[in-house]
Structure 1
Amino acid sequence: MSAATTPGIRLGYAINQWKPNFDDFTRPEQHERALKVIAACGFTGVELRGGTGRWDPLGRPDSIAATYGSTGAFLDVVRRVGLEGVSSWYVDPGEPVDEDLSRGRTLLDRSQHAAVAASLLPFARFLSEAGGSRLVVRALPSAGSLEQPLTADAIGVAADGWNTVADVVAETGVRLSLHVDCLSAAADEKTLTALLAETDPARVGLTLDTAELTVAGLDPVQVFDAHHDRVDHLHLKDTRYIDEAGERLAPHAESSMLSEGGARGIERWFHECGTAGGLVDFPALAERLRARSWSGWAVFESEQTPNPARSTMLNGWYAKRLFP
């Protein structure tokens, strides 16, 4: 049963919350079970997440083809359970990729731009075949991984890189969208504004992630107000916390803060939309979206959940009320 939604807004769900337990998510029957839960909760598309290795059979187009026999065979499963297709794919070019013998690439190095574009093209081609519309990419590396603060020139180099990637991806009909997570060097209003100013608005959009921005100290509603003309994709999740101590800017914050909870020992940074004590003002954001007749995929997610199916049901309940 599909949820009735605000005209123009399509409801998707991110597969990422199932993936941390790789040993529990390696076989097709497990994938199908997750897709059935997503469909049963009223979502019509699924967002995949980039990954690598035999423990991540949904991490890359070639891994999907190897597991299912072909891209088409996987899409048959997606549609058979009641989903329209794969809405989008999130990929961080900085993550190591075993299949490419890559330790990760960065757009801050101009010499790597062509390699990043080539590595992302297969994802865009897959999305084109799957009916997807957004290749969501991590805008900038973690702030704590940088040897020195970003300069205007460095931001310009990264922007040039994303314009190059967008040119390559455009041949598939899929649009590139920059994602800003709480650890990213782009999770700063000045940096984000500069990066968007130097990327082509006709080819490069912005994915607004409600909880990631909130943890970084940014108000997602204000970010939408400032950059509504670039927002072309949504990641919706809640959080009860803001990183007021700036731990997200430290080296290895992926483990010290997000995984281990930081100095406060926070068990979960991310929660289902509308969770008690959540800081994201979803009704205000929905009002902004309707006022501007925004259209696109609203992809719900709940990272760090101990029970993916339960989180999907809670988000499905909230989605029907947020976008009636």
Structure 2
Amino acid sequence: MKAKLGMSPIAWWNDDLVELSDDVSLEECLRQSRSAGFTGMEKGRRFPDDPEVMLPILKAADVTLCGGWFSGTLVDEDLSANKRRIQPMIDLFKAVNAPCIVYGEVGRSIQGDRSKPLATKAVLSDDEMKVYARKVTEFGEWCAGQGMPLSYHHHMAAVVQFEHELDAFMNHSGEGIPLLLDAGHLAFAGGDVLRAIDNHHKRISHVHVKDIRRGVIDGLDRKRQSFLDAVALGAFTVPGDGSLDFAAIVQRFADHGYEGWFVVEAEQDPKKNPPLKMAQVGHKELMRVMNAAGYTVETQGFPNV
């Protein structure tokens, strides 16, 4: 089985908490990640949107674009509005040969609002979830028809946060919307990561290997503190530095024959947790558990576009 290891630039620059950003260029971010052994990087705010500009940067760093976040609003807005907003991203991702676009629902989400405690997140009724899941499926089918598949990201403080919400979403949606399984977000929400892999492995197309610091999460006052408060306190980290058993998690993916990207997405204070050091820690741990699970980790960086 083959696996690819990527990172998210959120370890270097946080889009929601500017104070948790390192003063490094895109080129330096890519250089550090690649030097740690990662061959992919998801898109961040310092990436150019012109493929003619992006491709030489990726080539020079020997890194491939392995995904990127799209802020979807399908829980509130119609398909046409989201199609218009995602079309330039589809065109860009196709031009640089990216594997997928990560769909993150921001409609009714409080993930970017530090004034909203975790306990106040929006909850969809059963009927609302059915309508929403079918709508996202239709959108996923349309994007795939345009040549760029989506991968749905369940997320803390969003409408699909808890494991039972993920189960409902998956039950009412279809194969037209694959799943991004994020170990850290599911564990933060109190879910069972191994059970979720067992239940939804047929639809998982992308994986975020985000770790958590259990002590930070267990110490949160969810009626008072927000998702961004949790991030600032250090709720997330890289595999090998946190509380999750990634040997068991990666083995479960291997048991179900998953092949593809495992992306380290670990937003935290770069001054307390230098991104290069964290990248090295995460890569070392992932290589350990990947080898144990029987994966061959690909070493090619820049793709043949």
TM-score, scaled to structure 1: 0.76
Structure 1 equivalent of residue 191 of structure 2: 218
Counterparts of 2:230 and 2:211, CA distance in 1: 17
- 1:318 has 2:285 as partner: yes
Amino acid at match of 2:88: P
Structure 2 equivalent of residue 40 of structure 1: 35
Alignment RMSD: 2.6
Displacement of 1:163:
2.1
Instruction: List per-residue Cα deviations over 1:49-72 (Å, max 9, x = no partner).
Output: 4xxxxxx442xxxxx14xxxx312
Structure 2 equivalent of residue 30 of structure 1: 25
Structure 2 equivalent of residue 196 of structure 1: 170
Displacement of 1:284:
0.9
Structure 1 equivalent of residue 161 of structure 2: 187
Counterparts of 1:18 and 1:240, CA distance in 2: 19
Q: 1:313 to 1:147 in 2, by over 3 A?
A: closer
Q: 1:42 to 1:148 in 2, by over 3 A?
A: closer
Structure 1 equivalent of residue 80 of structure 2: 114
Displacement of 1:157:
2.4
Which of 11, 17, 21 is the equivalent residue of 2:11? 17
Counterparts of 1:256 and 1:147, CA distance in 2: 14
The residue matched to 1:185 in structure 2 has which SS? Answer: coil
Structure 1 equivalent of residue 258 of structure 2: 294
Amino acid at match of 1:206: L
Number of equivalent positions? 276
Q: How does 1:52-91 map to 2 (within 5 A)?
A: 56-58=45-47, 64-65=48-49, 70-83=50-63, 85-91=64-70
Which of 125, 129, 149 is the equivalent residue of 1:155? 129
Amino acid at match of 2:92: F
Q: Percent identity?
A: 23
Which of 89, 92, 95 is the equivalent residue of 2:71? 92
Question: Greater relative contact order (Cα 8 A, min sep 6): structure 1 or 2?
Answer: 2
Gaps of 5+ in 1: 1-6, 50-55, 59-63, 94-105, 260-266
Counterparts of 1:133 and 1:204, CA distance in 2: 14
Contact 2:231-2:267 within 8 A present in 1 as well: no
Structure 1 equivalent of residue 139 of structure 2: 165
Which of 139, 142, 146 is the equivalent residue of 2:109? 142
Displacement of 1:184:
2.3
Instruction: List per-residue Cα deviations over 1:252-291 (Å, max 9, x = no partner).
Output: 72344443xxxxxxx200112011xx32121111211222
The residue matched to 1:178 in structure 2 has which SS? Answer: strand
Displacement of 1:146:
7.0
The residue matched to 2:202 in structure 1 has which SS? Answer: coil
The residue matched to 1:114 in structure 2 has which SS? Answer: helix
Gaps of 5+ in 2: 111-117, 292-305
Contact 2:156-2:227 within 8 A present in 1 as well: no
TM-score, scaled to structure 2: 0.81
Displacement of 1:160:
2.7
